[in-house]
Homo-oligomer: A and B are copies of this chain.
Amino acid sequence: MTPGAPRAAIVASGNELLDGRTRNTNAEFASRDLSRRGAKVLQIVTVADDASRLRAVLRDSLEAGPDLLVVGGGLGTTHDDLTAECIAAVLGVPLVEHPQALELLEERVRRLSQRRGLDFAQTFAVARRQALMPAGSTPVPPAGVAPGIAAQSGPTRIFALPGVPFEFESMWTGIADGLQGEGMFPSVAVTVVRIYGVGELQVAPLFESLPRDRLELGINVGGGEVTVRLRHAAEPEAAAQAAAVVAALRAGAPVFSENGDTVDDIVAERLRAGGSTLAVAESCTGGLLGARITARPGSSAYFVGGVLSYADRVKTERLAVPAGLLARHGAVSEPVAAAMAEGARDSIGAEYALAITGVAGPEGGTAEKPVGLVFFACAGPEGTRVREGRFPGDRESVRSYAAGAALHLLREALGA
User: Is A293's CB within 8 Å of the partner chain B?
Assistant: yes
- Are A44 and B42 in contact, with the CB atoms below 8 A? no
- Are A205 and B46 in contact, with the CB atoms below 8 A? no
With beta carbons under 8 angstroms apart, the residue of B32, B60, B201 that contacts A77 is: B201
- Are A311 and B306 in contact, with the CB atoms below 8 A? no
User: Is A373's CB within 8 Å of the partner chain B?
Assistant: no
User: Is A291's CB within 8 Å of the partner chain B?
Assistant: yes
User: Is A175's CB within 8 Å of the partner chain B?
Assistant: no
- Are A16 and B308 in contact, with the CB atoms below 8 A? no
With beta carbons under 8 angstroms apart, the residue of B21, B60, B116, B308 that contacts A227 is: B21
Point out the residues of chain B lying under 8 angstroms from A284, CB to CB: 294
Point out the residues of chain B lying under 8 angstroms from A297, CB to CB: 361-363, 395
Name A54's closest neighbour in chain B (CB-CB).
Answer: B43
Point out the residues of chain B lying under 8 angstroms from A311, CB to CB: 300, 303-305
Bound CA span A317–B28, Å: 41
Question: How near does chain B come to A31, taking the closest CB pair, in angstroms?
Answer: 5
With beta carbons under 8 angstroms apart, the residue of B78, B229, B287 that contacts A219 is: B78
Bound CA span A11–B338, Å: 45
Point out the residues of chain B lying under 8 angstroms from A361, CB to CB: 297
Contact with B along A16-29 (1 / 0, CB 8 A): 11111111100111
Point out the residues of chain B lying under 8 angstroms from A221, CB to CB: 164
- Are B22 and A24 in contact, with the CB atoms below 8 A? no
Contact with B along A364-404 (1 / 0, CB 8 A): 00000000000000000000000000001111110100000
User: Is A103's CB within 8 Å of the partner chain B?
Assistant: no
Point out the residues of chain B lying under 8 angstroms from A34, CB to CB: 19
- Are A304 and B313 in contact, with the CB atoms below 8 A? yes
Point out the residues of chain B lying under 8 angstroms from A142, CB to CB: none
Query: Which size class do A's interface residues fall under?
Result: 35 or more
- Are B308 and A21 in contact, with the CB atoms below 8 A? no
Known: A45-B45, A77-B201, A218-B80. A393 touches B18 (CB 8 A): no
Question: How near does chain B come to A396, taking the closest CB pair, in angstroms?
Answer: 7
- Are A202 and B307 in contact, with the CB atoms below 8 A? no
Point out the residues of chain B lying under 8 angstroms from A306, CB to CB: 287, 307-308, 310
Question: How near does chain B come to A361, taking the closest CB pair, in angstroms?
Answer: 7
Point out the residues of chain B lying under 8 angstroms from A314, CB to CB: 304-305, 348
Known: A118-B202, A299-B286, A306-B307. A32 touches B16 (CB 8 A): no
- Are B43 and A57 in contact, with the CB atoms below 8 A? yes
Bound CA span A27–B28, Å: 13
User: Is A14's CB within 8 Å of the partner chain B?
Assistant: yes
Point out the residues of chain B lying under 8 angstroms from A303, CB to CB: 286, 310-311
Known: A15-B218, A291-B288. A166 touches B392 (CB 8 A): yes
Known: A165-B397, A396-B295. A16 touches B220 (CB 8 A): yes
Bound CA span A124–B399, Å: 30
User: Is A329's CB within 8 Å of the partner chain B?
Assistant: no
Q: Can you list 29 A-B contacts with CB-CB less than 8 angstroms, sorted by A residue number?
A: A15-B220, A15-B229, A16-B220, A16-B227, A18-B43, A19-B41, A19-B218, A20-B28, A20-B32, A20-B33, A41-B48, A60-B60, A79-B217, A116-B199, A165-B397, A286-B291, A287-B288, A287-B289, A287-B293, A290-B310, A294-B310, A295-B396, A297-B361, A300-B311, A303-B310, A304-B311, A304-B313, A305-B309, A314-B348
What 11 new A-B contacts, CB under 8 Å, besides A16-B220, A16-B229, A318-B347? A15-B216, A15-B218, A21-B229, A23-B23, A144-B392, A166-B397, A286-B293, A304-B314, A306-B308, A313-B349, A318-B318
Chain A interface residues toward B at CB < 8 A: 14-24, 27-29, 31-36, 41-49, 53, 57, 60, 76-80, 112, 116, 118, 123, 126-127, 144-145, 164-166, 169, 199-202, 204-205, 208, 216-222, 227, 229, 280, 282, 284-295, 297-300, 303-311, 313-314, 317-318, 347-349, 361-363, 392-397, 399
